[in-house]
A and B are shown apart, each in its own frame.
Chain A
Amino acid sequence: MIPVCRIEDLPAGESVRLDTTPPVAVFNADGALYAVDDTCTHQDASLSEGWLEGCLVECPLHAATFDLRTGEPMCLPARRAVRTHRVSVVDGTVHVHLTEPTAVPVSVRTPATTTASAAVTSGPLATKGSAA
């Protein structure tokens, strides 16, 4: 569990990047918090710098869009999901619970693996101070 920031420092529409290895991006999508691996699965771009719209983020380099709830790419050129991580807010502090690397979705075309990864996604968790 990695503390990220105070919830008030991550207002709706904003994102932060964690310098973990690999880096993780945390988004506040209209009140719902999501965390995914920061590096686009297409090439080298930081999704925390992307364009957030609803629970979709558009990569700043070639505009692949990812669904933050599942990590799945919604369009080309990305063809693989980004890994999702669970987010919780404890006493007003946002935390990320890193998903084990073994749970990385291998391929967007491998539904079994993808589902397994989606299952560990927390989804929206917006209320301040609530536990995971």
Chain B
Amino acid sequence: MKTVTVVGASLAGLYAARELRAQGYDGRLVIIGAEPHFPYDRPPLSKDFLANKDFLANKDFLANTDLAADSDFSANKDLAANADEAAAAPLGGAAPGGANAGGAAPGGATRGGAIPGGPTPGGVTRGRPLPGQAPLDETTPDEAPLALTDPDEIAELAADWLLGVHATALDPRGRAVHLDDGRTVVTDGVVVATGASARRLPGPRLAGVHTLRTLDDARALRAELTRGPRGVVVIGGGFIGAETASTCAALGHDVTVVEAAPLPLIPQLGPEMAAFCADLHRHGGVRLLTGTGVAGLRHAAVGGTTGPERVTAVELTDGRLLPADVVVVGIGATPNSGWLTDGALADRDGVRCDGGCVTSLPQVVAVGDVARVGGVRAEHWTSATEQPRVAVRNLLAAHTVETFSALPYFWSDQYGSRIQFAGHRPADATVRIAEGSPDSGSFLALYEQAGQVRAALAVNRPRPFMKVRRRLRAQRSAEPDGTRSARAAP
């Protein structure tokens, strides 16, 4: 393979790029990212970042000043301006210096040869990032810790970063990626890592209504939350909704969570643990309204009839009206697979892969939130970091030589409680509290089926959780087929 293109420059895309280099791929590496940012971490966006805590506390301060002092990140602003301009410029041609090699498609396909360093007319950066293309604000203490990579690693990866650019299509043979700026990247292999987008409510966009998926979302929401106490309505009691509600409450806002199901998180945690999480809201001073949907949003023009429309209240299906200054819509995410128009590759529930992250085209693999691996699509941080090793191995081998079998794991921080979950929860599992007690706010719960532990949930109980997680993992690798479980705990 001479060129591998990673589409999606976030967690899974970065891990895929790392794996490509770590597994010996030394060809051209192109990374395409729709956001203007270098890869950053999303979980803190609903937690410490939103809380605007001194997120670096005792740990990241020095690294942060290190980053800020790094010449490539703080370097001269004209370069930044150039890069910005370049990225925004129309992109008919290829980079100067022969990036447009051999038989390029019309519209300026880049193929083969290296794209020279520095900003090019195509807004491509090779090696170390330019300030204009590192729009995490490294000089602010709260954004620097979100960065998933640093200038040294970016240089080591020796990739062409095309940031602020959407892939719009993959050619039917998987040999070229078309971009929204008119360019085409001719490629031998593709890693799809386009993740997911926050689902929105239908209707016009209103001021005061937010989703929380991207850094820009989090910046916008945080700006509203720092303007004094507000009435916040969170629509959806899933993990992101719950974390956002918890953070808003900690910031002193008046918070209501609206959940359509009888309890939030039942599909993820089962009824017993869902009930525990519902209590977390109540103990945290947040109103939780369940079993009712949202009929619509009320709004009014700000500053007279001509101003922008701003949300004023949330209307529930049971007729209640909840006044709201700020509404956070946390109703899940949809996989960003729409750009793959080939129905054999992807549908509305993501990119269809075999157990080894390989699609129907052996040179196209998928990882992270967008990938439905062996029929299962996870939206977990850990899967996005673990799948790339297997996917890249199979990509480089040109067929599936390894399948992905890691044990599902996720965590969530709400109301001062750290929830950790691992395993597969069968719908008919019974829950046993193995240590501690829900009342004390620290416990380990085991999901058992036929006397076997299938999954575990811990709240503020990290050590015993680690033990069970390891046991579940060991059991899983011992039983490579369907019935994965661990012996009942002592």
Contact = CB atoms under 8 A, between A and B. Distances in A.
Contacts of A46: 462
Contacts, number: 58
A62 B60 CA distance: 17
Interface string B43-62: 11000100000000111101
Contacts of A58: 466
A45 B462 contact: yes
B48 A106 contact: no
Contact of A109 (B152, B463, B465): B152
B85 interface: no
Interface size class on chain A is 20 to 34
Given A44-B48, A106-B66, A107-B66, A39 B59 contact: yes
A51 B471 CA distance: 13
A43 B49 CA distance: 12
Contact of B385 (A40, A50, A77, A107): A77
Interface residues of B, number: 27
B25 interface: no
A43 B147 CA distance: 12
Interface string A1-31: 0000000000000000000011000000000
A108 to B, nearest CB: 9
B62 A60 contact: no
A60 B463 contact: yes
Contacts of A45: 462
A60 B58 contact: no
Contacts of A110: 66
Given A22-B58, A61-B411, A62-B382, A80 B63 contact: yes
B2 interface: no
A3 B191 CA distance: 53
A37 interface: yes
B63 A43 contact: no
Given A22-B58, A49-B463, A76 B66 contact: no
A90 interface: no
Nearest to A49: B462
Contacts of B59: 22, 37, 39-41
B282 interface: no
A1 to B, nearest CB: 21
B51 to A, nearest CB: 12
B77 interface: no
A104 B62 contact: yes
A35 to B, nearest CB: 15
A97 interface: no
A106 B62 contact: yes
A82 B282 CA distance: 37
A128 interface: no
Contacts of B44: 43
Interface string A50-81: 11000000101110000000000000110110
A75 B341 CA distance: 37
Closest 7 A/B residue pairs (Cβ)? A60-B462, A22-B58, A49-B462, A106-B62, A51-B466, A49-B463, A109-B152
Interface of A: 21-22, 37, 39-41, 43-46, 49-51, 58, 60-62, 76-77, 79-80, 104, 106-107, 109-110
Interface of B: 18, 43-44, 48, 57-60, 62-63, 66, 145, 148, 150, 152, 381-382, 385, 411, 413, 418, 420, 462-463, 465-466, 470
5 contacts: A39-B59, A50-B462, A60-B466, A107-B63, A107-B66
